[in-house]
A = this chain, B = another copy of it.
Amino acid sequence: MINASPDLRQQLIQTPQLHPKHGQLRHSPIAGVILTNGEIDAVAGLLSMREGSPFTLYAHRRVLAILKANSIFNVLSEHNVKRREIAIDQPFELALPDGTPAGIEVLPFAVAGKGAWYLEGAAHPNGEAQNDVGDTLGLRITDQATGKSFYFIAACAEVGPELKQRLNGASLAFFDGTVWRDDELIAAGLGYKTGQAMGHIAMSGERGALAALADLDITQKIFLHINNSNPALLPGSEERKAVDRAGWQIPADGMEVVL
């Protein structure tokens, strides 16, 4: 939001809930965190949110079980950080830490994915199957005042008919852009896993995100969760041009998105 228009910037400055409270040390304006999976890059940041500002942590029971089984997450005290279970296809309303409704509804839905890789070969702490529905969520986020909504899907292994139907007609979708091609990490000598093995669809290819979402009516399409091995990150690359041609955006710091 750094490059917001002067009007919007003024509005942001006048919106106290978006800023640390003046004169209050170590205050954080973050009122809630929604975990869409239990992967290390989704949960490790919680360990930096331990300074006492209250917030609500929303997650599927499978992910809550991982946090519970890892005592290190006790740095988030029960007093300050309420853990709230969310369930697939059950919309819920976000609230500020004092209980005030935030005017935002969130609908979690299942997308193809996989369990956290640091649990591979181990039993899931919940005693359930190792990889199962609930490990990877997409979100539809709706402004209850205007009814406008957008989609957030940071990890998705496959775009099936159900997901296509859901996204068709959307105003805005943030979508998993981890890798350009499935074997990219292996080819670069950075790892031994394919994108699929990590639960991520590639951007390119016959079954990639660009092809799978090409025929849908989505006003704004923005990739996120882009790995630093993905050549589409490089301005001017052939891959970036292909992304541009397909009507997708690669976001940058300070980017402003208006619904």
Let me know if A74 is at the binding interface, CB within 8 A: yes
Q: In chain B, what residue has the closest Cβ to A123?
A: B71
Q: Of A39-47, A126-134, A147-155, which binds chain B? A: A39-47
Q: Of A156-164, A186-194, A214-222, which binds chain B? A: A186-194
The interface residues of chain B lying within 8 Å CB-to-CB of A44 are 44, 47-48, 72
Question: Which single member of B25, B50, B74 contacts A122 (CB below 8 Å)?
Answer: B74
Segment 28-79 of A: residues with Cβ below 8 Å from B:
40, 43-44, 47-48, 50-52, 66, 69-75
Residue-wise interface mask of A (217-245) relative to B, using a CB-CB cutoff of 8 A (1 in contact, 0 not)? 00000000000000000000000000000
CA of A40 to CA of B117 in the docked complex: distance in angstroms? 22
The interface residues of chain B lying within 8 Å CB-to-CB of A246 are none
| Given A44-B47, A47-B40, A71:B118 Cβ within 8 A | yes
Which interface class (under 10, 10 to 19, 20 to 34, 35 or more) fits A?
Answer: 20 to 34
Let me know if A22 is at the binding interface, CB within 8 A: no
The interface residues of chain B lying within 8 Å CB-to-CB of A122 are 71, 74
Let me know if A97 is at the binding interface, CB within 8 A: no
Number of copies: 2
The interface residues of chain B lying within 8 Å CB-to-CB of A40 are 47, 50, 72, 75
Task: Tell me the minimal C-beta distance from A96 to chain B in angstroms.
Answer: 21
Let me know if A91 is at the binding interface, CB within 8 A: no
Q: In chain B, what residue has the closest Cβ to A125?
A: B71
The reply to whether A72 and B50 contact each other, CB–CB distance below 8 Å, is no
Q: In chain B, what residue has the closest Cβ to A189?
A: B25
CA of A195 to CA of B191 in the docked complex: distance in angstroms? 43
The reply to whether B74 and A26 contact each other, CB–CB distance below 8 Å, is no
| Given A40-B47, A44-B47, A47-B44, A71:B119 Cβ within 8 A | yes
The interface residues of chain B lying within 8 Å CB-to-CB of A43 are 72
Q: In chain B, what residue has the closest Cβ to A67?
A: B72
CA of A23 to CA of B51 in the docked complex: distance in angstroms? 39
A selection of 11 A-B contacts at a CB cut-off of 8 Å is A25-B189, A26-B190, A40-B47, A43-B72, A51-B190, A70-B70, A70-B72, A73-B118, A74-B119, A74-B122, A75-B117
List the 5 closest A-B pairs by CB distance, nearest first: A74-B118, A70-B70, A44-B47, A75-B118, A70-B72
